[in-house]
Every structure is written in structure tokens, then in C-alpha cells.
Amino acid sequence: KSLDNTIAAGEVIDTRQVRLAIPEDGFLLVRGQDGQEYHYGDRPQGEVLAETANLGGGGQVQLTIPAEPVRTRQTQVTIAVVLLAILSVGTGMVVAGVTARRLARPMRNISARAARLGAGDFRPDAARYSMQELDMIAEALDASAEALSALIRRERQFVGDVSHQLRSRLTALQLRLD
């Protein structure tokens, strides 16, 4: 039977029935509706933690345990949580550093490639970075280099043709004048 039913029935309370629910160093105090007290265990000394609950039959149950083991456990758990938080932040920083280095090197290469392109070096660069976005940028730079190279070739050919035509006409005029 439960303590509540036992108290409600006005029966004698046997606290040994609940001994498995009581910590080894805990103290259980049960007050019946008639005011009689029943207890199990030894009352802890020093600072204690106590919890009281009212029972439906008019009684009350109070469990008391020493505070020191609970405080020690709280301290241990707090330290564990703080260490886990530090470990999480540290791991995050390492991952961020690795990711930043992984992105920085290809970005520097692409930046240098763009600068060479602007300086007139239209050779394609075969380097790819195993990152879709960076590979797309590299391909776009190669396509731009190819287009600029073709444009420059056409301009040089045009200038060469115009120059040849002008020289031919000037030579013919010079020969007639002579």
C-alpha cells in the first residue's frame, strides 16, 4: 500500500516499506493525520536539504538529506558544463580557422588570377578548388580571358590590316611622286 492510503485508513505506518526510495544517508519523517510521527534512517547533521509533501489523507512526508553531497555533485556538474562549453567554443574556433584557411588560399589565387588577367595575361589557369562556387569563379575568369584574348587578336589583326593598307597606299603615292 502507499503511505497516503495507509494514513487515510488510520493504520500504523511501516516506513521500512519505502526504504528503497530513501537515499542511504537520508532521513524520512512521516506525520500521520493523528499527529503521530514515523521515521526511517538517521537524521543528518549539519546543513541539510529537506523536501516536504502533503498527503491526501491529511498526513505529511518529509525527506531530509545532507546538503554537502548535493553541493559537491552540483559543483561537479557545473564544472563539467563549463568544460564542455569551453571545449565547444575551442572546437568551433579550430573549425572556423581551418575553414578560413581553406577558403583564403583559393581566394588569394583567384584574386591573383584576376590581377594577371587585368595585366594582359590571358593564359587559362587549370587550378580548381573542389568548391563549387570558387570553381565557377575560376571558370568565369578563364572564359573572360579567352574572350579578351580573341578580342585582342582581332584588334591586332585589324590594326595590322589597316597598317598594311595604309603603307601600301603611301608607298604607291610615294612612287608616283618620285
Give mean pLDDT, residues 64-88: 95
Is the distance from CB of 97 to CB of 119 less than 8 angstroms? no
Alpha helices in the chain (DSSP H): 3-8, 67-118, 132-177
Q: Which 8-state DSSP code applies to residue 103?
A: H
**pLDDT at 91 exceeding the cut of 90:** yes
pTM confidence score: 0.50
Q: Which pLDDT band, with edges at 50, 70 and 90, does 59 fall under?
A: confident
- Residue type for position 172: A
Higher pLDDT, 95 or 29: 95
76 pLDDT band, cuts 50/70/90, is very high
Question: Which residue do the cell numbers 503511505 mark?
Answer: 3
